Amino acid sequence: MQNFIRDIIEADLESGKHTTVVTRFPPEPNGYLHIGHAKAICVDFGLAQAFGGRCHLRMDDTNPDAEDVEYVEAIQRDVRWLGFEWGEPMYFASDYYERLYEHAVHLIRIGKAYVCSLTEDAMREHRGSLTEPGKPSPYRSRSVEENLDLFARMRAGEFAEGAHVVRLRGDMAAANMKLRDPAIYRIKRAPHYRTGDAWCIYPLYDYTHCLSDAFEGITHSICTLEFENNRDLYDWVLAQYEVSDVASPGTVPCRPRQIEFARLNLTYTMMSKRKLLQLVEEKRVQGWDDPRMPTLAGMRRRGFTPESIRAFCDLIGVAKNNSLVDVGKLEFCIRDDLNRRAPRAMCVLDPLEVELVDLPVALSSLAAPSFPAELELDGTRRLPVSERVFVEREDFADPPPARWHRLSPGAVVRLRHLGLVRCEEVERGADGAVQKLRCRYLGADEATAGTKAKGTLHWVSAQDALDIEVRIYDRLFDVEEPESLDQLNPRSLVVISNAKLEPSVAGAVAGASFQFERHGYFCVDPDSSTERLVFNRTVTLRDGWAKEEPRAREHDARPESREATRPEEQTRAPSVADLEGPVRARAEALVSAHGVSEAVAIVLASDATLLDLVEAAFTAGASGKAATLVANLVAGDLRARLSGTRGPLGFGGRELAELGGLVAAGTVTGAVAREVLGRLVEKGGSPADLVRELGATTLGQDALVLLIDEVLAAHPDEVARYRAGKTALLGFFVGQLMRRARGKADAKAAEELLRERLG
């Protein structure tokens, strides 16, 4: 699968910037991994795999308050389960504490960090706001010696929490708030789950992460969009160190590049770690591995396979758009996977007793394939048969709605694998509720039964059925984009304690998946015991009837929809008359004297350098068509090429005028002119010489015809499609021609000829 990160890596490999690829997946062990992390894992590990590189697993554990070994172990389990190997060793930011400390000392030594003793509130005030610059901390000017001493004493535990922090000496006026002297070390008297009481100062993310990446030789540090603002800081910190293989507090082994992509959002799913923790802590769910949780542990328990999750991650792609993925795509992936691996079984969730009359006595059991024939998978199981069976209560209706394929008085249906039956009697209780059906067995197939069945129903033999518990899970939240825990779906779990399952499934182990035919995919929950199986519903089958039912029930149409009328927002095209000051006159002259469009004139008017340049070209002789051409070229192409860095230009009005003249005279095409302009920007020179060098004068008629023949010969399929009516291909042919001609063909003439040729 192609995405923009792959493009970047491919370019880096091609250019020789890198010869191998090293990525990393850096979770903080303060919670369980969820489906959003799965996307990140697939990106990080997947990219490394695709390029034959490595992907490190690193615990980003710099905050002792929230982190725990339980989470470390869960993370390892989940990454492995998803199907990725990180090899040796596993990395921990906490392993770098000493080295990070020394690297911070280096920053202090070179005057790029200082100890600040402002309170947290005071620091916030000094930081300014999004629109106002910050003020420097009064402690910013402490001497290197004092800073060194203070930092050492912070480490030694001489100060209370909050008394001091170490900050970078960034830029308090920076538009990017991250650069306004961010803190990199704080005092925290909390034991760390790995380093115990060894430290009472802990490094912060922006400082730790980039250095950890660099220590490990990470080439591409891939993270999510919300870190875009942190990238400047990431680069800033690394820039304070020499790149060298010699490990020292002033060096770093490499300069990784941070690349951001959009994190996963899923409909009906809460992805915030904080909120998930809250669900667990407030016991709104039964734990991190509750099958309703979007955690990998929960999804595993629910019956998702690692393959299905990886397929999902492939399906949704990697880009920078903030997107909200329909959870239906996930469901598609798990159905698609389980269809091929889950053996079929019959399970009645809401039993309705049926007495079968005329059942042949010899028919005490039958063999049924575990998979439908078209899957071509082996396996059979035995289905016991008896005169009392259970069918699904909702498979009987009286009266039946339109297009009903199931049981109703007098209806003939097939009992899967067993044969056809006709419903002949309905027993009702005093309240009118159906208690029992009596159906006549008609034969094993339509031929022997002498009639056709509308539908096929699942069933189980009453005396042989296993009593099981089934947990019917539905989405945890009611709304597409849940924001609060008030939006929990009260019916996210429905427990059915008296479901009837065919006996062949007895002995299934926890985690095993089955398709309960016509219901969905279910897997054995670890809560199962030898006496009683417990199943989780992973996902339903696609249900065509569920979609059709409402329509069948209500013939009364409900048409009438008024489409939304979009309020017309009309933006008026700007005019040179809106300009002010002396540029207005100059812009007006462009329009009136040189045939330049207002839009182009306005662009030029906004940039003094460009305006001067164009006017210089006029002075140098560009007039008429050439003048317009020059103005357009400068406002469009040149502006684009110059955006960002702009040094002195290696050419001026004279060259532009010359170029414009060449085009106006028909000596070169517009495409070539743009090409020449590019060269002019790069290394200057004379347009006429450049054109000569490039051999770029416009092709004559004969050459053009020759090329057209080549193009048509090279693309017979397209020619056929064009002649079949796909005239949009004309542009394609012109494009092919231009490529072959390297821009030297007169497109207008070519189009004309092409049209003739193609008839």
Q: Which residues are catalytic?
A: 28, 263, 273
3-state secondary structure of 710: helix
CB distance 437 to 502 below 8 Å: no
With contacts defined by CB under 7 A, name the span among 34-42, 326-334, 678-686, 701-709 that binds RNA.
326-334
Smallest distance from the beta carbon of 408 to RNA, in angstroms?
Answer: 10
Judged by CB under 7 A, the chain residues 7 through 36 that form the site for RNA are: 7, 26, 28
What is the spatial distance between Cα 390 and Cα 385, in angstroms, rounded to a whole number?
A: 11
Nearer to RNA, 300 or 518 (CB): 518
Judged by CB under 7 A, the chain residues 638 through 697 that form the site for RNA are: 639-640, 643, 669-671
What is the spatial distance between Cα 27 and Cα 79, in angstroms, rounded to a whole number?
A: 11
With contacts defined by CB under 7 A, name the span among 143-151, 175-183, 524-532, 704-712 that binds RNA.
175-183
Smallest distance from the beta carbon of 492 to RNA, in angstroms?
Answer: 21
Q: Of 8, 13, 49, 66, which one interacts with RNA (CB under 7 A)? A: 66
Asked if 548 touches RNA (CB under 7 A), the answer is yes
Judged by CB under 7 A, the chain residues 44 through 63 that form the site for RNA are: 60, 62-63
Nearer to RNA, 129 or 244 (CB): 129
Asked if 578 touches RNA (CB under 7 A), the answer is no
What is the spatial distance between Cα 371 and Cα 344, in angstroms, rounded to a whole number?
A: 6
Nearer to RNA, 242 or 548 (CB): 548
Q: Of 706, 731, 752, 755, which one interacts with RNA (CB under 7 A)? A: 731
With vertex at residue 236, the alpha carbon angle to CA 212 and CA 15, rounded to the nearest 5 degrees, is: 80
With contacts defined by CB under 7 A, name the span among 70-78, 317-325, 584-592, 690-698 that binds RNA.
317-325
Nearer to RNA, 539 or 690 (CB): 539
What is the spatial distance between Cα 5 and Cα 39, in angstroms, rounded to a whole number?
A: 14
Asked if 404 touches RNA (CB under 7 A), the answer is yes
Determine the residue type at 671. A
Asked if 718 touches RNA (CB under 7 A), the answer is yes
3-state secondary structure of 1: coil
Q: Of 542, 553, 646, 723, which one interacts with RNA (CB under 7 A)? A: 542
Contacts for 365-371: CB closer than 8 Å, 24+ residues apart: 366/417, 366/418, 368/416, 368/417, 369/344, 370/343, 370/344, 371/343, 371/344
CB distance 75 to 29 below 8 Å: yes
What is the spatial distance between Cα 669 and Cα 42, in angstroms, rounded to a whole number?
A: 48
With contacts defined by CB under 7 A, name the span among 129-137, 277-285, 477-485, 498-506 that binds RNA.
129-137
Asked if 255 touches RNA (CB under 7 A), the answer is no
Asked if 723 touches RNA (CB under 7 A), the answer is no
106, 54, 110: which is closest to 84 by C-alpha? 54
Judged by CB under 7 A, the chain residues 461 through 490 that form the site for RNA are: none
What is the spatial distance between Cα 104 and Cα 148, in angstroms, rounded to a whole number?
A: 10
Judged by CB under 7 A, the chain residues 591 through 630 that form the site for RNA are: 597-600, 602-603, 606, 628-629
200, 205, 210: which is closest to 183 by C-alpha? 205
> Helix/strand/coil (H, E, C) string of 292-303?
CCCEHHHHHHHC
With contacts defined by CB under 7 A, name the span among 180-188, 347-355, 376-384, 706-714 that binds RNA.
180-188
Q: Of 194, 414, 422, 537, which one interacts with RNA (CB under 7 A)? A: 414
Q: Of 110, 239, 357, 375, which one interacts with RNA (CB under 7 A)? A: 375
What is the spatial distance between Cα 504 and Cα 370, in angstroms, rounded to a whole number?
A: 10
Q: Of 219, 513, 632, 698, which one interacts with RNA (CB under 7 A)? A: 632
Asked if 530 touches RNA (CB under 7 A), the answer is no
Nearer to RNA, 531 or 568 (CB): 568
Smallest distance from the beta carbon of 362 to RNA, in angstroms?
Answer: 16
Asked if 732 touches RNA (CB under 7 A), the answer is yes
DSSP 574: P
Give the distance, in angstroms, between the CA of residue 382 and the centroid of all CA atoms in the same chain.
45
Give the distance, in angstroms, between the CA of residue 107 and the centroid of all CA atoms in the same chain.
37
293, 262, 297: which is closest to 82 by C-alpha? 297
Smallest distance from the beta carbon of 549 to RNA, in angstroms?
Answer: 8
Asked if 177 touches RNA (CB under 7 A), the answer is yes
With contacts defined by CB under 7 A, name the span among 80-88, 236-244, 566-574, 677-685 that binds RNA.
566-574
Asked if 537 touches RNA (CB under 7 A), the answer is no
What is the spatial distance between Cα 443 and Cα 450, in angstroms, rounded to a whole number?
A: 8
Judged by CB under 7 A, the chain residues 422 through 451 that form the site for RNA are: 444-445
Residue 420 exposed, middle or buried by CB count within 10 Å (0-12, 13-18, 19+): buried
Residue that the structure tokens 């498979």 belong to: 395
Q: Number of residues in contact with RNA, rule: CB under 7 A?
A: 130
Smallest distance from the beta carbon of 695 to RNA, in angstroms?
Answer: 18
Asked if 68 touches RNA (CB under 7 A), the answer is no
Asked if 755 touches RNA (CB under 7 A), the answer is no
DSSP 164: -
What is the spatial distance between Cα 406 and Cα 397, in angstroms, rounded to a whole number?
A: 8
With vertex at residue 470, the alpha carbon angle to CA 468 and CA 474, rounded to the nearest 5 degrees, is: 175
Asked if 227 touches RNA (CB under 7 A), the answer is yes
CA neighbours within 13 Å on the CB side: how many for 354? 34
Smallest distance from the beta carbon of 603 to RNA, in angstroms?
Answer: 5
With contacts defined by CB under 7 A, name the span among 117-125, 144-152, 191-199, 484-492 that binds RNA.
117-125
Nearer to RNA, 117 or 386 (CB): 117
Asked if 584 touches RNA (CB under 7 A), the answer is no
Kind of pairing, strands 251-252 and 242-243?
A: parallel
Judged by CB under 7 A, the chain residues 264 through 293 that form the site for RNA are: none
Smallest distance from the beta carbon of 242 to RNA, in angstroms?
Answer: 26
What is the spatial distance between Cα 623 and Cα 617, in angstroms, rounded to a whole number?
A: 9
Smallest distance from the beta carbon of 344 to RNA, in angstroms?
Answer: 5
Judged by CB under 7 A, the chain residues 181 through 200 that form the site for RNA are: 182-183, 186-188
What is the spatial distance between Cα 663 and Cα 684, in angstroms, rounded to a whole number?
A: 18
CB distance 552 to 402 below 8 Å: yes
Asked if 738 touches RNA (CB under 7 A), the answer is yes
Nearer to RNA, 416 or 679 (CB): 416
Sign of CA dihedral 285, 289, 290, 295: positive
> Which region, left, alpha or beta, applies to residue 87 given φ > 0 means left and ψ of -120 to 50 means alpha?
left
Q: For residue 241, give both structure tokens.
A: 């160190």
Smallest distance from the beta carbon of 181 to RNA, in angstroms?
Answer: 9
DSSP 465: P
Asked if 545 touches RNA (CB under 7 A), the answer is yes
Nearer to RNA, 30 or 49 (CB): 30
Strand partners, 220: 257
Residue 164: how many other CB atoms lie within 10 Å: 24
Nearer to RNA, 123 or 493 (CB): 123
Nearer to RNA, 2 or 645 (CB): 2
Asked if 295 touches RNA (CB under 7 A), the answer is no
Nearer to RNA, 162 or 526 (CB): 162
Residue 467: how many other CB atoms lie within 10 Å: 12
Nearer to RNA, 250 or 434 (CB): 434
DSSP 649: -
Contacts of 691 (CB under 8 A, 6+ apart): 662, 667, 668, 672, 676, 697
Asked if 324 touches RNA (CB under 7 A), the answer is yes
2, 58, 43: which is closest to 261 by C-alpha? 43
With contacts defined by CB under 7 A, name the span among 72-80, 179-187, 428-436, 649-657 that binds RNA.
179-187
Nearer to RNA, 197 or 543 (CB): 543
Asked if 202 touches RNA (CB under 7 A), the answer is yes
Q: Of 109, 255, 393, 721, which one interacts with RNA (CB under 7 A)? A: 721
